[in-house]
Amino acid sequence: MNKLFGTDGIRAVAGQFPLDYSSICTLGKTLMNILKNENHSGSVLIGRDTRESGNWIEQALIQGIGDAGGTPVSAGIIPTSAVAYLTKTHAFSAGIVISASHNPYEDNGIKIFSSRGIKISPEWEERLERAIHSREDVTQKQFRIQPVPDLEHDYQEFLKSRFSQAVSNKRNKVVLDCSNGASSNIAPRVLSELGFEVLTTGDAPNGKNINFDCGSLYPQCLAKKVIEAGADIGVADDGDADRALWVDENGRILNGDHTLYVLSRFMKKKGLLRSKHVVATTMSNLGLELALRDLDLELFRAQVGDKYVLEQMIKLDANLGGEQSGHTILLDECPTGDGILTSIKMLEVMVSEDKPLSALVAGFKEFPQVLLNVRVSRKDDFADYPEIMETMESIQHELGNDSRMNVRYSGTEPLARVMIEGRDQDQIESLAQRMVSVISKHLG
């Protein structure tokens, strides 16, 4: 049986298996049956991003949940993190997000949260996969449910309540790129109501322009706008707004490692860190590890994927973790990454410290890093290919002790990712290309 769930739910071209109408309807019905067996009430919250396929996918889920005796509730277009938060705080049995995050609009996906607001267990995923693989054709019914506006309002009020500083007299200027996605209405409104001067871009979704030349995939576009506007910070959301990247006042693009450094330093100063551990992933820069060490904090590296970060945070009793890609989990606030919440917290630090973003990240010196993607036809175990393993060992030996290499498969796309970091840019670029060539030879 082919595995359908990756590190971030099911993701595929909308309309093709496993995101065809019958498969999605079967997923909704099976999820409802699982919830019944677990003695849940059967109310399921559904939210989506701005892709044109989101409408009929929501319809299929509503039909499947309803046919199994459940009560589907729509939150409409809303960030992934909002569904996680609202599922937990409003006592829904489960939450479903229809989104393919940073993928192009032709793709879509389904993420499922438990009643605790965290991603469902592997056991539940396996039960859903079995049902989808053995699905039968479903006749589509014609009905819809209207989004409940109070849900979006409650989420917005939650976000505003997380900003604990009075806005400074100079009114920090923010350029906000919503990626034509799920944050397009909510993020500008929240930041404006908190008193910031907000200039928006990527806030006119049409169903097909999500992530297109905008958002966290193209922060260089945001960097130009920050310089032109003389802004204090640029914020780049992704399509479902569960992560965010930054541009400082000088136009420098910053990532999730910078977020962890700024927030950990501030939270330690305020006595808000529950432990000495900050959780990141194998992709985070070695410079972050050294910078945290200077703060007497320890970086713990989890497997790539925000669900793995959360898993280790819970084990270590850590309340701050995240990924270089921009997922940041503030566990005292929300059980999943939230780009808007993280933006608020970064602005809170800027206001509280009365420093520009460039000064806040000055203590973090990044090692040169190269990240290359290799399109693969299959995701076999690298250990099955002696030349791949020999090349890995040879490169590790050449890199020495003050450098790192990480080779892994993407959890959401048919890609192998090669990351190398060290002190010599030319060396790591050459070695990364060598690793890519060998992987492509055997798996491309």
CA distance 371 to 373: 7
Give buried/exposed letters for 296-319 (b at 16+ CB in 10 A, else e). Answer: ebebbbbebbbbbbbbbbeebebb
CA distance 441 to 144: 49
CA distance 77 to 271: 36
CA distance 341 to 188: 12
Establish how many alpha carbons lie within 13 A of residue 66's alpha carbon, considering only the half-sphere containing its beta carbon.
16
CB neighbourhood size of 161 (10 A): 10
β-strand partners of 108: 12
Tally the residues of the chain.
Answer: 444
Q: Which residues contact 386 (CB under 8 A, 6 or more apart)?
A: none
Strands 233-237 vs 173-177: parallel, antiparallel or unpaired: parallel
Classify burial at 104, counting beta carbons within 10 Å of its beta carbon; exposed 0-12, middle 13-18, buried 19 or more: middle
**H/E element, 109:** strand 107-114
Catalytic residue flag (residue 53): no
Six token digits for residue 257? 């490692």
**H/E element, 60:** helix 54-67
Of the candidates 23, 101, 184, 284, the residue annotated as catalytic is: 101
Which of 66, 65, 64, 68 minimizes the C-alpha distance to 138? 64
Q: Which residues contact 125 (CB under 8 A, 6 or more apart)?
A: 4, 5
CA distance 164 to 332: 14
| Catalytic positions, written as ranges | 101
